[in-house]
Amino acid sequence: MEQGPQYVIEMRDIVKDFPGIRANDHITLKLRKGEIHALLGENGAGKSTLMSVLFGMYQPDEGSIYKDGEKVIIRSPNDATALHIGMVHQHFKLVECFTVLDNIILGDEDSKGGWIKKKASKKKCLDLMRKYGLDVSLDSLVSDISVGMQQRAEILKMLYRDNDILIFDEPTAVLTPQEIENLMKTMKAMAKEGKSILFISHKLNEIMEVSDTCTVLRKGKYIGTVATKDTDAAKLAEMMVGHEVHFTVDKSPSKPKDVVLSVADLCVKNPFSHKETVKDVSFKVRAGEIVCIAGIEGNGQTELVNAITGLEPVKRGTITLSGADITDKSIRERIKGGMSHIPEDRQKYGLVLDYNIEQNFVIEQYREEKFAKRGWIKFSARKAYSDELISRYDVRSSQGSRTITRSMSGGNQQKVIVGRELDKEHSLLIAVQPTRGLDVGAVEDIHKKIIADRDAGRAVLLVSLEIDEVMNLADRILVIYEGEIVGSLDPKKVTIPELGLYMAGAKRMTINGDIITNSKKSSRSLGGDR
Amino acid sequence: MSQSLINKKRFGFISFDSVRSFGASLICILIGLLIGFLIMLFSSFSIDGADPISGLAYLFSGPFTALDPLQDFGNMIFYTVPLIFTSLSVAIAYKTGLFNIGAPGQFLMGTMAGLLIALGINSVGNPVQGVFVWILAIVAGGVAGMLWGLIPGFLKVFFGINEVIVTIMTNWIAANVFTWVFSLDGLKGMVNTASGKTGYLITTSLTGNSTPDLGLGALTHNSYLDIGIFLAIIVAVLIWLLLNKTTIGFSMRACGLNKFSARYAGINDKWNIVLAMAIAGALAGFAGVSYYLHAGIEIQYQSVYQKLPDYGFSGIAGAFLANCNPIGCIFAALFIRYINASGTNLVSVGYNRYFADIIIAVIIYLAGFTSFFKNLLKIHHKNSVNSQPGGKAKVPLPDDSKPETEKPQKGEIR
C-alpha cells in the first residue's frame, strides 16, 4: 500500500488491550481527504475503542497514528482537537442549562478583558449553519431542544473549531428517519467541502447510502476495507458477523389465551417538565402471545414500562395484571403477582453490580421461604439455586456463583437477568431491549428463550428499538409515537417501510382502524421538540 | 461455617477481599505514621530537646510507655468503647448508602436520655436496682439516639432532603437542647454544686447507677475500664450478622450499592433508609451512654452547646478506616485510641500531645484512599499469581473500574 499524505489519517496496527480482552487487534484504518469512511461492526467489535484511541481518550498499546503522513501521538482529546479532529459522541456532551451558542463556544471563547465576545462567534455559527444546512436555534437552552438538534449543535461545535476530521459515533441511533436523512445530507455537504468523516455504525443501509469506503471490524480484528460502490448489504453483513446471516427466528403461530396484562387509558406525566410522556394508552396482552411496542427512542416507551412495572407513578388510567388492579401496588406486589421484567438498563436497574451472581439471582426472592428462614439467609439453598441457573443459562464467569457481576461482560450480565426473570414464577414477561449490545449468538439465544416463554403460556410484552427484532418476535406490533399508540399491526402483513412511517408519525390509525397519512406531522417532527 | 457474602475465594472465613481491605488499612496507617514522623522530624529543628526517633517510638508503643502502662491501657480500652459505637453507626448507614454526619447529635441525645434516668433515680445502697436502672439508662440512650436519627431518615424519605444537610443542623439542635434541658429548674438536683466547679452535672457514682466494672477498674490500677467493651464487641458482632447473614442486611446493602436496582427488585428503599438511620442513631446513642454512665466521667452541660462531641465525628474516621466492616470498626477504634494514648507521653520527648492527633488526622485522611490501596494490592496479587504457571488458585480478578458492557463475549473469563 502507498503511504504518504494521500491519507489525512492513518492508524496502523493499533492494538488496545483491556483486562482480559483485546479490544483492538492490529487494526489499520486509512482515511482519505473528503471521503466518508464507515466503520462497521457489531456491538463490541472494537469500533468505539478504535475511535477513542484516535480521539485521545485511550492510548494504544501498540501501533501508531499518522496525520497527513506525519506520526502523531494523541494523548488527550485536547491533542486531538489541536490536530483538528472532532468527535460527536453517542451520548452528547452538552451543558444542559447553557444555550446552544454557549455550548459551541465553551472552551474556545473569544474574550476581551475577561468579557466574552459572542457577536463574532454567533456570526461564524450562522455562516456555518448556512453553508452546511444545519438547522439549530442558537439561543435556545440545550434542555429545550430535541435530540436531533442537540446532535446538530454537536456538529456545529466541531465545525466551529475548524475540525476537518469528524468522527460520528453511531449518530443515527437516536434520530427519526427524517432527521437521519438530513444528517446524511449534512455529512455529504461536509465531505464535499473537504472534510473527512469517520462514521461508526452497524446499520447497513445507512452505510450503503452515505459512505464511500467501509472498514469492517469483527471481535476486535480487522476484516477488510471495501469501496461501498463495489459491495452490497448482504456482503457487508457477512463480513461483519463472519457467516451468512439469518435474520429470522423459527417460531410457530401464537395461540393467545386469556388476557394477562390490560392497560387502560394510561397517562404518565414527566415530574419535571409536566409534559405527558404517555397519553391515553390502552392495550391488552394475552397469555401465549408476544406483543411488541415499536417506536423510535424517546417516544414514551421507557415511561410506559416504568408505569407498568411500578418504577414511576401513573397519572391516570388503570393497569390490570391477571385480573387484579395493580395501578397503585408496590413493585414487590407486582412481582409477586407474576410480573417479570427485563429492564432496559441492565446496569442501573437489572443488577446490583457489586453483588455477586448468587445475590443477584435472588434479589427479588431473597425473603421467600426457599431462601430465608425467619430472616436468616439460607446460604446453601441460595448457592445451589444459583449454580443451577448458571449452568442452565450458560452464564460464564471466573468464579461461578461468587463472581461479582461488575467484572462480567455485558452478555453474561444479561444472561443473569434473563435467567432470573424467566426462572421466577411469572405470568407476564416485560422485556425492554433485551438484546441491546449483545452479539449475534447471544441475541439469537435470548430470542429463542423469549419465544419459549411465550409457548409456555406466558404473556410477553416486548419493547424494542430494533425493527428487525420487532419483526422477528412480535405476534402483534403496537407502534408508539409521542406517547400515543398510533398503530396496531400484524407483523406478517406490514412491511418495514410502512412500519417506519408509523414510527415516524407520518401515518396513524384511529380507534376504529382507519388509517390517516399525515405528511404535515412528519415534517413538523423534523426540528421540533419531541 | 461462616460465609463471606462478598466474593472471592475464602480461607476459612477470611476472604481475599478482607485480606486486601486489611492490607489497605495497614498501608494507610504506615504512611500516616511516616508523615507523622516527618512532621516531628522537621519540627524538632525548632523545638529544644525534641527527639523525633523517640517520638516515633512513643507513637508505636501507645499506652505502654506511660508511667503506669496498665492504667493507661485500661483507659485506652474505655475510651475505645464509644468510638466503636459511633464507628458502627456511621458504617451501617454508609452500607445503606447514607452518610451519617449526625452521630454527634444522636450521641448527645442518647447521653441526655441516659443521664436523665441514671441521675434522676437514686440507687445508692441498692446495687441490684442500680444495675436495672443502668440497663434502663442504656436502653433509653439507644432509643433517644434512634429517635434523633429518625428525623433525617424521615426527612430524606418523604421530602428527599439530603441527610448530610439535615444532620448538620440536628447536631446543633441536639447540643442546644442538651444544655437547655439540664439548665431547667426542675433538674437542679443533677447539677454538681459540691466540688466548686461550675456547670458540671453530678456523676453516676453519686446515684449508684454507674456502669458495672466487675473489678476491671481495680485490676488495671484504677483505670476507667468497665464492661462497656464487651457490650461494644457484642453489638459489633450483631451488626455484622445483621448485615451479612440476614435478609434485612441483604436489602440494606442492596439499597446502598444501587438504589435503582433495589427498587426495581421490589425492595422498599424508603423503609431501608429509615431503618438504617434508626439503627445508626441507636448506636450513636449507645456511644453516649457507654461513656457518660461511667462513675468517673463528668460532663459540663453548660458548654455542650458550644462544641459537638469529638466521638461523633471520630466515628466517621473509625468507620472508613475499617472500610465500614463492623468487625473492623472494633480494631479501627482501638487503633485510633492507641495512637491517641501516646499523646500524653510525647510531652516527655518535647512534643505536645496534639502531635498524636495530627497523625490520626493524616491516617484518617489517607483512609479516603483505602479503595485506591486496595486496587493496588489487587494488581500485585494478580501479578504474583500469574507468575506461577498452572497455579490452581482462583485469582481475585481486577474488577476494573469500567464494566465492559459492550465488549465482545470471547473474553468471558476476565
**What is the identity of the amino acid at B59?**
L
Put simply, the answer to whether B8 touches A399 (Cβ < 8 Å) is yes
3-state secondary structure chain B: CCCCCCCCCEECCEEHHHHHHHHHHHHHHHHHHHHHHHHHHHHCCCCCCCCHHHHHHHHHHHHHHCCCHHHHHHHHHHHHHHHHHHHHHHHHHHHCCCCCCCHHHHHHHHHHHHHHHHHHCCCCCCHHHHHHHHHHHHHHHHHHHHHHHHHHHHHHHHHCCCHHHHHHHHHHHHHHHHHHHHHCHHHHHHECCCCCCCCEECCHHHCCCCCCCCCHHHHCCCCCCCCHHHHHHHHHHHHHHHHHHEHHHHHHHHHHHCHHHHHHCCCCHHHHHHHHHHHHHHHHHHHHHHHHCCCCCCCEHHHHHHCCCHHHHHHHHHHHHCCCCHHHHHHHHHHHHHHHHCHHHHHHHCCCCHHHHHHHHHHHHHHCCHHHHHHHHHHHHHHHHHCCCCCCCCCCCCCCCCCCCCCCCCCCCC
CA separation for the pair A17, A514 (Å, rounded)? 56
Question: How does pLDDT run across A142-200, given as a tens digit for each residue?
Answer: 888 877 888 889 899 988 988 889 999 888 766 766 778 888 988 999 999 889 999 88
Comparing CB atoms, the residue among B250, B251, B264 nearest residue A311 is: B264
SS3 content of chain A, % helix, strand, coil (to 5): 35, 30, 40
pLDDT of residue A523: 37
Name the grid cell of B316.
Answer: 466517621
Residue A26 within any structural domain of the chain = yes
Output A6 or A434, whichever has higher pLDDT: A434
Same domain? A412 vs A459: no
Put simply, the answer to whether A404 touches B7 (Cβ < 8 Å) is yes
**What is the identity of the amino acid at B193?**
T
Which of A396, A424, A452 terminates a domain? The answer is: A424
Mean pLDDT of A327-351: 92
What average pLDDT does chain A have?
85
CA separation for the pair A190, B272 (Å, rounded)? 55
pLDDT of residue A439: 65
Name the grid cell of A349.
Answer: 436497574
- Domain containing A261: what range? 246-338+426-530
Q: Is A512 buried (19+), middle (13-18) or exposed (0-12) by CB count in 10 A?
A: exposed
Residue B216 within any structural domain of the chain = yes
Residue A343 within any structural domain of the chain = no
CA separation for the pair A15, B266 (Å, rounded)? 44
Put simply, the answer to whether A18 touches B5 (Cβ < 8 Å) is no
Output A509 or A168, whichever has higher pLDDT: A168
Examine the pLDDT at A393 and tell me if it is beyond 70.
yes
Which of A424, A446, A471 terminates a domain? The answer is: A424
Question: How does pLDDT run across A352-386, given as a tens digit for each residue?
Answer: 999 999 999 999 999 999 999 999 999 999 999 99
Same domain? A156 vs A22: yes
Q: Which residue has the cell 481495680?
A: B218
% of chain A with per-residue pLDDT over 70: 91
pLDDT of residue B31: 85
| Bridge partner list, A459 | A428
In angstroms, the first-to-last Cα distance of chain B is 29
- Provide the 10 A C-beta neighbour count for residue A5: 12
pLDDT of residue B176: 96
Chain B residues close to A330, C-beta within 8 Å:
266, 268
Residue A63 within any structural domain of the chain = yes
- Are the C-beta atoms of B290 and B85 separated by less than 8 Å? yes
The pair phi, psi for residue A237, each rounded to 5°, is -60, -40
Residue B277 within any structural domain of the chain = yes
Banded model confidence at residue A511, pLDDT cuts 50, 70, 90 = low
pLDDT of residue A37: 94
Same domain? A236 vs A176: yes
- Are the C-beta atoms of A198 and A22 separated by less than 8 Å? no
Put simply, the answer to whether A332 touches B5 (Cβ < 8 Å) is no
What 3-state class would DSSP assign to A464? strand
pLDDT of residue B405: 36
Same domain? A100 vs A227: yes
| b/e map A405-425, b = 16+ CB within 10 Å | bbbbbbbbbbbbbbbbbbbbe
Residue B12 within any structural domain of the chain = no
Which of A424, A459, A479 terminates a domain? The answer is: A424
Query: Which residues are CB-contacts of B268 (< 8 A; sequence separation ≥ 6)?
Result: A330, A332, B251
Same domain? A58 vs A23: yes
Same domain? A254 vs A187: no
Same domain? A139 vs A186: yes
Put simply, the answer to whether A350 touches B264 (Cβ < 8 Å) is yes
| b/e map A136-163, b = 16+ CB within 10 Å | bebeeebeebbbbbbbbbbbbbbbbbeb
Entry pTM: 0.75
Nearest to B370 by CA among B94, B76, B98, B80: B94
**By a Cβ cutoff of 8 Å, what residues of chain B touch chain A?**
3, 5-9, 245-248, 250-251, 253-254, 257-258, 260-268, 394-395, 397-400, 403-414
Banded model confidence at residue A441, pLDDT cuts 50, 70, 90 = low
Put simply, the answer to whether A351 touches B261 (Cβ < 8 Å) is yes
Comparing CB atoms, the residue among A220, A363, A402 nearest residue B8 is: A402
Residue A506 within any structural domain of the chain = yes
CATH code where residue A110 lies: 3.40.50.300
Residue B343 within any structural domain of the chain = no
The tally of domains found in chain A comes to 3
- Are the C-beta atoms of A199 and A38 separated by less than 8 Å? yes
Residue B25 within any structural domain of the chain = no
Examine the pLDDT at A117 and tell me if it is beyond 60.
yes
Output A482 or A519, whichever has higher pLDDT: A482
Same domain? A64 vs A40: yes
Query: Which residues are CB-contacts of A175 (< 8 A; sequence separation ≥ 6)?
Result: A147, A148, A151, A183, A296
In angstroms, the first-to-last Cα distance of chain A is 48
Put simply, the answer to whether A19 touches B414 (Cβ < 8 Å) is yes
pLDDT of residue B101: 93
A314/chain B closest Cα distance in angstroms = 16
Residue A514 within any structural domain of the chain = yes
The tally of domains found in chain B comes to 1
Give me the interface pTM, i.e. the ipTM: 0.79
pLDDT of residue B246: 95
Question: How does pLDDT run across A207-222, given as a tens digit for each residue?
Answer: 888 899 999 888 788 9
- Domain containing B178: what range? 70-325
Q: What is the mean pLDDT of each run of 10 residues along chain B (414 residues)?
A: 42 62 81 84 81 83 83 93 97 95 96 95 90 96 97 95 94 96 89 82 88 88 92 97 95 94 93 97 97 91 90 89 91 90 80 80 78 69 40 36 36 34
pLDDT of residue B412: 35
Residue B373 within any structural domain of the chain = no
Same domain? A324 vs A188: no
pLDDT of residue B149: 96
Closest-CA residue of chain B to A421: B265
What 3-state class would DSSP assign to A190? helix
Same domain? A446 vs A322: yes
- Are the C-beta atoms of B266 and B251 separated by less than 8 Å? no
Same domain? A215 vs A250: no
Banded model confidence at residue A107, pLDDT cuts 50, 70, 90 = confident
Residue A288 within any structural domain of the chain = yes
Chain B residues close to A45, C-beta within 8 Å:
408
